[in-house]
Structure 1
Amino acid sequence: MKRTRMLIIAALMSLAASAQGVNESRIVTDTILSKVLGVKRAYTVLLPKGFDSGDTRRYPVLYLLHGMWGKNDDWVSQGRLKDVVDRLVASGEARPMVIVTPDAGGGDPNVYQNGYFDMDGWKYETFFFTELVPFIEKQFRTGGSKANRAIAGLSMGGGGATAYGLRHPDMFCAVYAMSALMDIPDGRETDAEKPDGKLAKLTRSVIDHSCVRFVAEADSQSRERLRSVQWFVDCGDDDFLLDRNIDFTRAMRHAAIPCQFRVRDGVHDWEYWHTALYLCLPFVSRNFSAQ
């Protein structure tokens, strides 16, 4: 009898654990074969609690971009993304959402081509909008419209997220930029050692796609389209990119485009970007359309 009771208890515990597993957020990493880039690109996805429960509803989506020396799994391994998401969703401060962290480089920008823009031999922006977004949103029942799609990122990814929002305002309801590479800082315009190297190409692409200049040169029609996006810029007070972030927010103010700006205590590191998630996820949640 005692053995029977033990077996029943063990079976119930197993069932409870299985049910709990179904209802927890989970991380998926896979690749997509890109015809545009001619290679496979990795991506990591956080799927919210309940995604695998048989519910067929679509979820809002946040595209969360990594920095210059990073890759797709950085937000999970260094930013502790899953812990933050689970905590904020449980408290009601953030909505359940799908979060996608694609790979726009693979590591060292001197070795691997990096960047979120189209350049010679690396049409990443074309890949992102024509291949990655349609694939993700079909595969994971998410997004489907501007009202349920947001973008954010850190450093190079913060500049990429901002530039994507500026250049494709019909795609995103909200943009959150962390320590963003809005333009190249003064004195870092060229790579004198390897003027034709991958890092030099990346640097030129950032200059060519300056977020500050885009806003400053926007005509009245473009400015009106940009007002349909909710903007948030977040940069540390000791960050080497602070001046470029100030330049961007000044340009936005001059163009009468509402943009929240926060300068917090911190530098250009994962301590800052991890804490930024506690602002970013509630911000995009507030701007997704009501279910």
Structure 2
Amino acid sequence: MKQLFLFFIGVLFAFEASAQFGQWGPQSKVETKTIHSNVLNADRDYTIFLPKSYGTDANRRYPILYLLHGMSGVNTSWFDNEHAKEVADQLIASGEACEMIIVSPNAGGNVSDGAWNGYFDMPGWKYETFFYSEFLPFIEKTYRVIGDKQHRAIAGLSMGGGGATAYGQKHSDMFSSVYAMSALMNIPQEGAVPSQNPNDKMALLTKSVQENSCIKYVADADDARKEQLRSVKWFVDCGDDDFLLDRNIEFTQAMRRQQIPCEFRVRDGAHTSEYWHSALLTCLPFVSRNFGK
């Protein structure tokens, strides 16, 4: 009877360990949580990737990558559409990327359904203020983040690529590297659709992108700003069939004229999830190499 009892105890322990760590030991995990914003007067979701050692090494702190989605995307888009967890697991397992926390906040939704979009402050939507005064401090207090410039990076696609670039420009003291994919670096005036409706969210977004032009920020840089920009490692990645390719070329040209180092890749592809999925294979090793520097 005693042996039978011990057998069942062993089976129960194995079952609990399997449920907790998976069949092959500890696993990374992705969670979606909510933060209340007093700035936005709303709840905002975020999705976070925690590496497999996060649950087993309670004393370890991690570098962090803020990963920004594109227009009409949401916090889960990087994980549902571009498979960020699977890419991170693969690259960490191969040693091409270090273990890191990856977090994607919700700055969008379907504009046609009335959702706000954008990473900048605009009338009725002070998202940049929310990001720096509420979201980033909350994440780095709640999770075991190292929390300094050398261990913090930012990346994004399309609207999020422009947001990541602008955040890296204006907050160069906070990020070690920026990886911009198919980035909305600017919207030329001739390409903007005027609106007479002051509450038109697309018009507000367009104006905010123009006011925060990543290209103009570099072109207008004085010596002090140039030095700040040189403290960040920059990478621009855009497909040869992407409708934003010209804007990415213009940004890279502005960086070259100001003698600010910036890696630039034009690969085969368009403005698609397949392209951004493949970009992650370069993005995660790039930010990993620059953590701690």
**Residue type at the aligned position of 2:44:** R
Partner of 2:125: 122
| Aligned 8 A contact 1:69 1:106 in 2 | yes
1:159 paired to 2:162: yes
Indicate yes or no: 2:12 matched with 1:14.
no
SS of 2:191's equivalent in the other structure is: coil
Distance 2:231 2:292 in 1: 13
Matched, 1:277 2:286: no
Segments of 5+ residues of structure 2 without an aligned counterpart are: none
| Backbone CA RMSD of aligned residues | 2.1
- Which residue is 2:252 aligned to? 249
What is the number of residues matched between the two proteins? 289
Deviations 1:153-178 (A, max 9, x none): 00000000000001110010000000
In terms of mean alpha carbon deviation, does 121-130 or 194-203 score higher?
194-203
SS in 2 for 1:213: helix
Map 1:45-60; keep pairs closer than 5 Å.
45-60=48-63
- For 1:12 and 1:110, the matched residues in 2 are separated by 49
Cα distance in 1, alignment partners of residues 199 and 142 from structure 2: 38
* Among candidates 146, 149, 152, match of residue 152 of structure 2: 149
Q: Which residue of 1 aligns with 2:268?
A: 265
Q: Given the two structures, how large is their TM-score scaled by the length of structure 1?
A: 0.93
Does structure 1 conserve the Cα–Cα contact (< 8 Å) formed by 2:215 and 2:254? yes
Equivalent residue runs for 1:31-50 within 5 Å: 31-50=34-53
Q: Deviations over 1:165-206 (max 9, x none)?
A: 011100100000000000015743124585641100000000
TM-score computed with the length of structure 2 as normaliser: 0.93
Paired position in structure 1 for 2:230: 227
- In the alignment, residue 176 of structure 1 is paired with which amino acid? Y
1:70 and 2:73 are equivalent in the alignment? yes
Structure 1 residues 262 and 186, CA gap change in structure 2 (3 angstroms): farther
Amino acid at match of 1:260: E
Q: Return structure 1 stretches of 4+ with deviation > 6 angstroms.
A: none
Equivalent residues in 2 for 1:74-93 (5 A)?
A: 74-93=77-96
Instruction: Provide the C-alpha distance between the structure 1 equivalents of 2:114 and 2:20, rounded to a whole number of angstroms.
Output: 45
**Contact 1:185/1:241, CA 8 A, preserved across alignment:** no
Residue deviations 1:48-87 (CA, integer Å, cap 9, x gap): 1110114222100000000011000001111111110110
Amino acid at match of 2:219: A
- Unpaired segments of 5 or more residues in structure 1? none
Does the residue aligned with 1:261 lie in a helix, a strand or coil? Answer: strand
Matched, 1:206 2:209: yes
How far apart in 2 are the matches of 1:213 and 1:187? 16
Q: Secondary structure at the match of 1:115?
A: coil
